[in-house]
Amino acid sequence: MHLLRYIIIYGLIGIFFQGNLFAAPEKIYDKVHFIRDINWYKNQAVEWEGLKNSNPKNETAWLNFFKAHLFADSNTQELSTLLEEMAKAIPNSGTLNYCQYLWDEKKAYPSNKILYGYQVEKENTALFGDLVLYYASQGEKEQREAFAQKVFESNLLSPNYLNYFYNVLMSVGENGYLVTHSKNTYLPLQVLQDVKKTRNDVKLVNLNWLNSSVYQDFLVEQLGLNSLEIKSPISPSKDQFNYIIRQLVEDNPEKDFYFGLSMSSSSLSQIKQQLYLVGLASQYSPERIDNLKILQDNFENKFLTDYLKESFYNEPPFSTARILTQNYLSPIYLLSKKYQSSGELEKAQKISLLGAGIAEGIGKKEVFEDLISTQNSSFSDGKLFDLEIKELEKKQKQVDGNLYASAYELTNKEYNIFLYWLNKNNMQNELEKCKVDLSHLEGDLKSMFNFYHKEYKYNSQPEINKEKDFLNYPFSKYPIINISYEAAILYCEWLTDQYNRNKKRKFEEVKFRLPNLEEWRLAALGHKGNTYIYKKESYDMDNLKLDYPWWAFDPQKNFGGQAFNEKGCYLGNFKVEGPCGCPALINSKVCDGFSYSGPVGSYFSNKIGLYDVVGNIAEMIEDKGKACGGSWGHLPENSKISDVMTFEGVDERVGVRIFMEVIKE
């Protein structure tokens, strides 16, 4: 059976300039329409701030300024301060009430402030969707249905957006419970049920509203769920959903729960092993189910798919409807493999062509092709290499639940063992994909990295079957770089196979892989929760600077906002230009110790024992072409925990930190 792998998708769109003039600020649309990159929202916040400052009474500027900060995930203190400033500038305005409503909705549940906004602007169609949410959270069916009709008649939701969520509803079994968590996933489902009467047997549960006693009563009295004991207020901005979700499914064992593919994997970490992909949703089941049979029935008999072949791609690349379509690729891939294994080759070809068309239309053609090609590799046919399993396990540091991360970035030696194994097992196609690539470099830089990547001569080396017999060389303990995303994926699959076949292993079954963005940031931060205790004193995480992983070592001094310590010594390997303030490097031309990447573990670890999570090399995540944490080639201000860089092919600044997911203990 196949467990769900969640993909969190963001459109990466740059900010363009014409001549010497900055582009005008753009309207910040709700995420039911468009999803932009977080840096785009940050830049728009700056643009709208300028417009707001030039005219403090400009309500349009205030609204877009606040929404830009909201979607850029600004912290609680920043958003509260903005609302205080807004209250002084445009008191008692509809805009102020609407922004207060948006803030209430994000941190708790829809408040009645939206009603005041509607009284002021009854013709404002943008409020209709929020009124659907408000009345749904209050369990007021008549008003909810009335505004759902207004949303539909006003064409606030695109046809393709509704088509996607129609298929989400069709993924749910009869009388099932579909769990959602945000406006852009709940609203289209409610509109389809109220207006088009689509799958009214499916019961919608919104996690964001569980702070409301009114909504909790609605779940019990109208939806037939057992009451939940909420011990503390739920903060959607913090990862608290996973515990509530586990409580929800365990307290209602007779109910069938489903989770849409847009939910983050960290929110579902407590039940991940009991989730089965059945379409555009994943079904929770403590017992194994034949999810591929359900998946096939949904695609063949229930789903709308014609819209995926025709006019869909006329929408902007950052439209939410278009972005969500990537969620079709994993179920399509699984279904294609099912058809192939059962000899239904015509069906396999048809569904694969649909997947290829979707992938090409959203700029993910290579990702889909890589998914096919990498899964065809059969490492289990090769010999078992005697890895130092106990050392490998010792390096794994627990991030959350069954998720671990390596204390160190993947080294040249570890990767060369993999290349050696590929050659000795005659996997030449894989070897070609995984070789170090220096073709993008020139001159002295190419010469330096050629020595940096000094490889074993595969054919001239004597037979080596043990890791401890594998020789070291000057850069053995330096991080592997200049390899492709596909190579990193293949390495993870090889290591997974080698570990799971090793009789000395601690865990029954694991999967080594690249992390998603949320998992990487959680690991880099080294802490989970709203508060942090240091020397018996409690600190609110929202009030701390969390740019760098050493924030936790003395929150009283708020070190997390700077890249160096009190002596002026840099705490990571960054692109730093003199003069050097660090006493130990006062006469050095290199202010942080290294001109390029340094040996793994050269700097302090974070709170959970991960070294070099910022600086040294940027670390790939599961989204192809994206890496986190900055590197030796990035300035400190571009090497924060929140920073994501993009790259194509290979890059001398980009490498890998392997994460381990325990499937079965």
Span 123-164, pLDDT tens digits: 788 889 999 999 999 999 999 999 999 999 999 999 999 999
Question: What does the mean pLDDT of the chain come to?
Answer: 84
The pLDDT of residue 15: 27
Helix H or strand E encompassing 94:
helix 94-107
CA 172 to chain centroid, in Å, comes to: 24
- Are residues 254 and 147 located together in one domain of the fold? yes
Helix H or strand E encompassing 586:
none
Q: What is the mean pLDDT of residues 523-536?
A: 82
- Are residues 282 and 385 located together in one domain of the fold? no
Among 259, 293, 327, identify where a domain stops: 293
What pLDDT digit, counting tens, does each position of 154-188 carry? 999 999 999 999 999 999 999 999 999 888 899 99
Say whether 594 sits in a helix, a strand or coil.
coil
250 neighbors 228 (Cβ within 8 angstroms): no
Pull the structure tokens for residue 50: 């300028």
**Token pair 């239309």: residue:** 361
Does the residue 650 lie in any domain? no
The pLDDT of residue 418: 92
Q: Is the pLDDT of residue 445 over 90?
A: no
The pLDDT of residue 584: 62
- Are residues 277 and 390 located together in one domain of the fold? no
Q: In what order do the strands lie in the sheet with 257-260?
A: 203-206, 177-180, 257-260, 281-284, 275-277
Q: What is the mean pLDDT of residues 38-48?
A: 92
The pLDDT of residue 230: 66
Does the residue 126 lie in any domain? yes
Does the residue 608 lie in any domain? no
Pull the structure tokens for residue 293: 């049979």
What pLDDT digit, counting tens, does each position of 247-278 carry? 899 999 999 999 999 887 778 877 887 899 99
- Are residues 279 and 398 located together in one domain of the fold? no
DSSP string, 391-411: HHHHHEEEEETTEEEESSPPB
Confidence band for 589, pLDDT divided at 50, 70 and 90: low
The pLDDT of residue 150: 95
- Are residues 239 and 98 located together in one domain of the fold? yes
Say whether 167 sits in a helix, a strand or coil.
helix
CA 317 to chain centroid, in Å, comes to: 18
- Are residues 186 and 46 located together in one domain of the fold? yes
Q: Is the pLDDT of residue 239 over 70?
A: no
Confidence band for 42, pLDDT divided at 50, 70 and 90: very high
Domain CATH number, residue 240? 1.25.40
Say whether 655 sits in a helix, a strand or coil.
strand
DSSP 84: H
Confidence band for 490, pLDDT divided at 50, 70 and 90: very high
- Are residues 85 and 221 located together in one domain of the fold? yes
Length of the chain, in residues: 665
What pLDDT digit, counting tens, does each position of 379-394 carry? 766 778 888 899 999 9
- Are residues 276 and 407 located together in one domain of the fold? no
The count of structural domains within the chain is 2
The pLDDT of residue 267: 80
Does the residue 375 lie in any domain? no
Residues 439, 436: Cα–Cα separation, whole Å: 9
Among 231, 264, 293, identify where a domain stops: 293
Does the residue 8 lie in any domain? no
- Are residues 174 and 26 located together in one domain of the fold? yes
- Are residues 241 and 385 located together in one domain of the fold? no
Cis peptide before 549 (omega within 30 of 0): no
Q: What is the mean pLDDT of residues 72-77?
A: 85
Q: What does R_g of the chain's alpha carbons equal in angstroms?
A: 26
Residues 28, 12: Cα–Cα separation, whole Å: 15
- Are residues 400 and 283 located together in one domain of the fold? no
**Token pair 């939206």: residue:** 114
Does the residue 552 lie in any domain? no
Does the residue 117 lie in any domain? yes
Among 458, 486, 518, identify where a domain stops: 518
Cis peptide before 233 (omega within 30 of 0): no
Higher pLDDT, 529 or 222: 222
Q: Is the pLDDT of residue 528 over 90?
A: no
| Start-to-end C-alpha separation, the chain | 18
Amino acid at residue number 169: L
- Are residues 168 and 274 located together in one domain of the fold? yes
- Whole-number percent of the chain with pLDDT over 90: 43
Confidence band for 591, pLDDT divided at 50, 70 and 90: low
What pLDDT digit, counting tens, does each position of 616-665 carry? 999 999 989 999 999 989 898 888 998 899 999 999 999 999 999 998 88
Q: What is the mean pLDDT of residues 513-529?
A: 90
Task: Give the E-state strand segments of 506-628 in sequence order.
Answer: 509-513, 531-534, 537-540, 618-620, 626-628
Residues 283, 285: Cα–Cα separation, whole Å: 6
Residue range of the domain that includes 472: 381-518
What pLDDT digit, counting tens, does each position of 320-353 carry? 888 899 899 989 988 988 887 788 888 988 998 8
Residues 428, 413: Cα–Cα separation, whole Å: 20
What pLDDT digit, counting tens, does each position of 86-103 carry? 999 999 888 898 898 888
Pull the structure tokens for residue 581: 């303030």
CA 23 to chain centroid, in Å, comes to: 29
**Predicted structure pTM score:** 0.63
Pull the structure tokens for residue 484: 């492709």
Residues 409, 655: Cα–Cα separation, whole Å: 7
Does the residue 348 lie in any domain? no
Residues 313, 357: Cα–Cα separation, whole Å: 10
